[in-house]
Amino acid sequence: MTSVTGEQAVETGAVVPVGRRSLVPVVGAIAFAVVAALIGLLVGPVHLGLGAIAREALSHVPLLHVQSDMSSTDKAILWQLRAPRVVLGLLVGGMLALAGGSYQGVFRNPLVDPYLLGVAAGAGLGATLAIAYGGGTVDSYDLLPLAAFVGAAAGVACSTVLGHAGGGSRNPAGLVLAGVTVVAFLTAIQTFVQQQHTQSLQEVYSWILGRLGTAGWHDVALAAPYILISSAGLIAHRRVLDVLAVGDDEAASLGINVRRTRLAVVAFATIGTAAAVAVSGLIGFVGIIVPHTIRLAIGSSYRIVLPLSLLVGGGFLVLADVIARTVVSPAELPIGVVTAFFGAPFFAIVLRSSRSFS
Amino acid sequence: MSGFTITDLSVKLGGTEILHSVDATVGSGEWIALIGPNGAGKSTLLRSVAGLCSYEGSIEIDGREVSEWSRRETARRIAFVPQAPLLPPEMRVRDYVMLGRTPHIGEFAAEGVSDHEAVDRAMRRLDLGALAERRLRTLSGGEQQRAVLARTLAQDAPILLLDEPTNALDIGRQQQVLELVSLLRSQGDLTVVSAMHDLTLAAQYADRLLLLAQGRLVAAGAPHEIATEALVATHYGANVRVVGEGGALAVVPVRRSG
C-alpha cells in the first residue's frame, strides 16, 4: 500500500514539501543580491576593477597575505562611498519588500504597502519638522533620522489605537481605515508646516523622494539593528501568515491567536520600515512590486515570499540606486523616481504575463 | 474520542442575545445535526463550541471548560469548517491540507515527519493524491470540499464541527460529502456536529437532531421524532409531508394552494 502511494507520488511529483521547492529560488535570489551588490561596487564615475576589489577585500582577511594594489583614493571610494551605499541599499530595499509582503499577508490585501498605517506620513511629518525647525540650530544629520523614526512609529501607534477603538482587532478593514484617517491627518499637518517654511521646501521634497546618496557607515549602523531584528521577527512568522490566508475565524480554529499575531507582525514591520525610512526617505513601490513579482513568478506561500522579498528587494534597490546615480551623472536622480519609473512598467508586464497563464 | 456537554449556554453578539439558555449533551462518536430556521442560532452554537465567541454558561469537553483552553489546545480537540471556507486561490492542495497540522507544530517551527505522515494519510483517505500539487483555484466545487475535509482530518481532532457542509453543492455532491463524513466517522471515531438546512439529509445521516428556534433549543431526539410535520410547521412555518423512514426518510414540501 505504502509503496504504491510512494510510486504515485514520484510519478505525479506529489510529495514535494514547500521547504524543498524553495531551495532553487532561494539560491537564485542570493545570487541576484550578490551580483547586484557587485554591480553597485563596480559602477561609478571612477573605474574600480573586479579583480582589484577582490584583492582589496581579501587583503583585509587575516592569514591570507593578499596584497592590495589599490590607491588610497580608490580605497576611500570603495569603502567610504560605494560600500556603505550598497549595504544600506540591501538593508533598506530588503526591509521595505519584506514589510510590504508581511503587511499584504496580515491584512489579506494585495494592494497594501509598508506605508499603509502611517509610517510614511508620520516619518514625513517628523522629517519636515526637523528640517523646518531643527535645520539651523542642530546638525540635521543627527536629528532628521531620529525625528523620522519617531514620527513613523507614532503614526502607526495612532492608527493601531484608533483601529482598535473601532473594532480593529476583529476586523482588519477597521485598522486599514484608521490608517487612511491618520495618514490624511498627518499629511495635512506636514503640508501646513511645509507651507509655513517655504525655504525648506526643496530639502523636504528631496527627502520625500528618497535617497541613498548621503549614505555613510553612520546610517548603516543606525538602521541595521532595527532592520535585522524586525526581519528576523517577520521571517519567523512566515508559516503563521500562510495560516492567516484562510481567514481570521478559520485561522483561530486552527490554533492561531490572530490578534496577537497581527499586532506582532505590524510591530515588527513598522519598526523595520521606520528605521529604513529614517535613513533613506520615502522610497516607494519596492514594498509592492517585489513581493508581487515573487508571488507571480514562484508562488504565494509566505514561506517563500518573505525570505525572497528580503533578498530580491535588497538587490533591486541597489540596482535602482546604480541607475539613479549614473543616468544623469554627475547629478543624481532621487531613487524613489527610479523605483517608480522602472518598477511600475515592470510590474505591469509581470501582471500581464501571469494573466495569460491563468 | 470525545463528546461534550453544554449547560445553560447563552451568547450575546453586539448586545443582542442570539442563544438563550441552551442545554445539550453530545455523546462520543455521535453525529448530531443542528436544524432550525434562518437566524435560529445554529452557526453561533457551533462557533461557541469551537471557542470562537465568548459565552455565558458552560461548554465542557473531557470535563474541562472550552473557554479555559488556549487556542492551540482547543484546535487539537475541535476542527471547525465554516459555511464558506476561504480557500486561498494560489495555494497548493497539499500545503492547504498541511494547514490542518498547525495546532501540532510549534508556532515558529517547521513541520516534522509525523505531520507529513498525517497529511499523507488524510489525502489518501479523501483520494486527493493526484491533486496534491494543484492550486486550489483549479479544483471543482466537490474537489474543494474534499480538500477542506482533508485539512480537518489532518488536524486529528476528535470533534468535527461543520456549518452547512452541503451548501451550494448539487444533490449528487451533497450525498457524496455526507457519505464521506459518515465513512470518516466510522473509520476514525469522530464526533460530528453539523448545522444543516436540508431536513431530509439531516434526518437520513444524523443519529440525533437538535431543533433550534429563536435562540432556544426547542426539541431534541431521533430523526423520526424531530423531523415531523407538526414541528416543521410550527418552527419553519412550512407545509410539509414526511414520508418513508430511516435512510429513506424524506421531508417533502407541499404547495399550499392549487
CA separation for the pair B48, B58 (Å, rounded): 10
Does the pLDDT of residue A284 top 70, yes or no?
yes
Enumerate domains of chain B plus CATH numbers: 4-253 (3.40.50.300)
Burial class (CB in 10 A: 0-12, 13-18, 19+), A342: middle
Domain that holds residue A147: 23-351
B134 interaction partners in chain A (CB closer than 8 Å): none
Contact flag A295-B90 (C-beta cutoff 8 Å): yes
pLDDT digits (tens, 9 = 90+) for B195-247: 999 999 999 999 999 999 999 999 999 999 999 999 999 999 999 999 988 88
B73 interaction partners in chain A (CB closer than 8 Å): 255
Q: How far is CA B37 from the centre of its chain?
A: 17
Cell of B157: 481532532
What pairs with residue A152 in β-bridges?
none
Q: How many domains is chain A built from?
A: 1
B15 interaction partners in chain A (CB closer than 8 Å): none
In a domain, A298, yes or no: yes
Partner B contacted by A295 (CB < 8 A): yes
pLDDT digits (tens, 9 = 90+) for A71-128: 889 988 999 989 999 999 999 999 999 999 999 899 887 778 888 889 889 998 998 8
Contact flag A14-B132 (C-beta cutoff 8 Å): yes
In a domain, A9, yes or no: no
Using alpha carbons, select from B62, B63, B59, B39 the residue that is nearest to residue B51. B59
Query: Each residue of B162-195: b (16+ CB within 10 Å) or e?
Result: bbbbbeebeeebbebbbebbbebbeeeebbbbbb
In a domain, A13, yes or no: no
Select the residue of A19, A254, A295 nearest B99 (Cβ to Cβ). A254
Using alpha carbons, select from B60, B83, B63, B55 the residue that is nearest to residue B6. B60
Q: For residue A222, which amino acid is it? A: L
In a domain, A17, yes or no: no
Q: Do residues A52 and A75 lie in contact, with contact meaning Cβ atoms separated by under 8 Å?
A: no
Domain at A185, CATH number: 1.10.3470.10
Mean residue pLDDT of chain A comes to 84
Contact flag B105-A239 (C-beta cutoff 8 Å): yes
| Closest chain A residue to B127, measured at CA | A5
Question: For an interface test with B, which of A15, A254, A260, A292 has the most B Cβ atoms less than 10 Å from its Cβ?
Answer: A254
Residue B88 preceded by cis peptide, ω within 30: no
List Cα–Cα distances, B76 to A257, B79, B189, in angstroms.
14, 8, 15
Percentage of residues in chain A having pLDDT higher than 70: 88
pLDDT band, very low/low/confident/very high, at A12 (cuts 50, 70, 90) = very low
In a domain, A4, yes or no: no
Using alpha carbons, select from A207, A247, A220, A219 the residue that is nearest to residue A106. A247
What pairs with residue B212 in β-bridges?
B217
Contact flag B99-A246 (C-beta cutoff 8 Å): yes
pLDDT digits (tens, 9 = 90+) for B132-141: 999 999 998 8
Does the pLDDT of residue A234 top 70, yes or no?
yes
Quote the minimal CA–CA distance from B209 to chain A in Å: 24
Does the pLDDT of residue A317 top 50, yes or no?
yes
| Closest chain B residue to A235, measured at CA | B108
Contact flag A246-B80 (C-beta cutoff 8 Å): no
pTM (2 decimals)? Answer: 0.87
B129 interaction partners in chain A (CB closer than 8 Å): 5, 8-9, 12, 14
Among A148-157, A171-180, A306-315, B117-126, name the one with the lowest average pLDDT.
Answer: A171-180
Mean pLDDT score, A176-194: 91
In a domain, A358, yes or no: no
In a domain, A18, yes or no: no
Residues 6+ apart with CB under 8 A from B38: none
In a domain, A257, yes or no: yes
Place of cell 517628523: A126
**Residue A128: in which H helix or E strand, if any?**
helix A119-129
Angle at the Cα of A95 from the Cα atoms of A255 and A131, rounded to 5 degrees: 125
Cell of B227: 423531523
